[in-house]
Amino acid sequence: MIPNININSTTINTLTANEMCNRSKHVRYFGDWQKVAAAPALTPISAPIFDESQSKYKCCCGCMHSRTGGIIIGILELIAVVVNFAVYASNYAQSESSTGQFVVSLLATSIVAVIVVLLFFGIKKENHNYIIPHLVLQILGIVALAIVAIINIVAVCVSSTVVASSDKNSQTTTAVLLTVIAVSIVVLLSAIFQIWFFVVILRLYHFYRDKKSFAVRNDGVARLGPSTTVQYVTFPPQVTAIP
């Protein structure tokens, strides 16, 4: 037997459709009491699922997910950080760098290490906000490489002019020109890789951002048909329930 249900006639109540359906099976109204319309039968539908396999979240020509690419990039950056620490410590121990240079280099490398750790933390927590510092660092790195590339291009042009105008092609001038060209190639390759890494991390950022937005939009939404709630008002002071 279901107990009596006392409902205040001035109170507006909201029930889910399933609750209305269940209660409508057991509630009987007497006299001229206003009845609550039974909610229509609703067919459960499957909950929407976030599609992680979309091409916009992949990298390396669609060969892997940006999450995997982000992990690989983070590992490579951690290796680079460890190598830089070792090189700076070795140079300082051999008195090849001053204390000021060592401290500045150590501080810069430490900042990079923290940003890389934040990248891994963002991947673990699936939070795109922790990836933002890495994107900012990459943008600064790309800008710096672009400036260095422009300087090297100018240096190559000047060196070529000097070599062409020289009466005798000295080995020193040629060596300088070759060095500048080699540095320019290295800088260009570094810029290409940095841009590629930036695209991968940016896709990773979009992946976690879109996934979070999808979860927020669908949080608390009933997986039912077109109408999931029913409001009812103006009831008699008491409703008698029957089994």
pLDDT at 243 over 60: no
Q: Which of 2-11, 34-43, 44-53, 198-207 shows the highest mean pLDDT? A: 198-207
pLDDT at 33 over 90: no
Q: What is the DSSP letter of 130?
A: G
Q: Which of 40-49, 141-150, 192-201, 212-221 has the lowest mean pLDDT?
A: 40-49
Confidence (pTM): 0.66
pLDDT at 179 over 60: yes
Alpha-carbon distance values, 156 to 142, 145, 149 (Å): 21, 16, 10
**Which stretches of 30-146 are assigned E, i.e. beta strand?**
58-59, 64-65
Q: What is the DSSP letter of 53?
A: T
Contact (CB, 8 A) for 131 and 204: yes
Q: Which of 11-15, 119-123, 149-153, 157-161 has the lowest mean pLDDT?
A: 11-15
Contact (CB, 8 A) for 128 and 209: yes
* Averaged pLDDT, 22-29: 48
Q: Which of 96-100, 186-190, 218-222 shows the highest mean pLDDT? A: 186-190
Alpha-carbon distance values, 190 to 77, 116, 142, 148, 194 (Å): 13, 18, 9, 11, 6
Amino acid at 40: P
Phi-psi region of 62 (alpha: psi -120 to 50; beta: other; left: phi over 0): left
Question: Predicted confidence band at 160 (pLDDT cuts at 50, 70, 90)?
Answer: low
Alpha-carbon distance values, 30 to 136, 170, 227, 239, 242 (Å): 70, 113, 28, 9, 12
**Which stretches of the chain are assigned E, i.e. beta strand?**
5-6, 13-16, 27-28, 58-59, 64-65, 229-232, 238-241
Between residues 173 and 66, the one the model is more confident about: 66
Contact (CB, 8 A) for 240 and 4: yes
Q: Which of 18-27, 84-93, 196-205, 216-225 shows the highest mean pLDDT? A: 196-205
- Would you state the pLDDT for residue 162? 62
Which token pair is 219?
């949080």
- Would you state the pLDDT for residue 111? 95
Across the chain, which distance is largest between two alpha carbons, in Å? 118
